Amino acid sequence: MYQSKLRIITNHLILILGSAFMIAPVWIALASSTHTREYLFQNGLQMWFGGHFLENYGAILFDPAATKGRVTALEMLFNSMVLGLGFAIGKVVISMMAAYAIVYFRFKLAVPLFWVIFATLLLPLEVRIVPSYEVVSSLGLLNTYTGLILPLIASATGTFFFRQFYRSVPDELLEAARLDGAGPLRFFVDILVPLSVTMIAAIFIIMFVVGWNQYLWPLLMTTDDQLYTIVIGIKQVYNSLYEGGQIPQFPKAFALTIMATIPPVLVVVIFQRMFIKGLVETEK
Helix axes 73-104, 145-153, angle to 10 degrees: 40
Site for other proteins in 125-154 (CB under 8 A): 126-139, 142, 150-151, 153-154
Which phi-psi region, left, alpha or beta, contains residue 94 (left: φ > 0; alpha: ψ -120 to 50)?
alpha
**Per-residue string for binding with other proteins, 83-122, x by CB under 8 A?**
----------xxx-xx-xxxxxxxx-xx--x--xxxxxxx
Only segment of 50-58, 71-79, 191-199, 255-263 that touches other proteins (CB under 8 A):
255-263
Q: How far is CA 128 from the centre of its chain?
A: 20
Q: How far is the CB of 266 from other proteins (least distance, A)?
A: 8
Q: How far is the CB of 237 from other proteins (least distance, A)?
A: 9
DSSP type of residue 125: G
Judged by DSSP in three states, 229 sits in coil
Among residues 87, 62, 92, 190, which one has the least CA distance to residue 145?
A: 87
56 phi and psi angles, rounded to 5 deg: -65, -50
**Selected binder of other proteins within 61, 253, 255, 274 (CB under 8 A):** 253
**Selected binder of other proteins within 73, 202, 234, 255 (CB under 8 A):** 234
Rounded Cα gap, residues 230 and 222, in angstroms: 13
Q: How far is the CB of 52 from other proteins (least distance, A)?
A: 17
The yes or no reply on residue 271 touching other proteins (CB under 8 A) is no
Q: How far is the CB of 208 from other proteins (least distance, A)?
A: 9
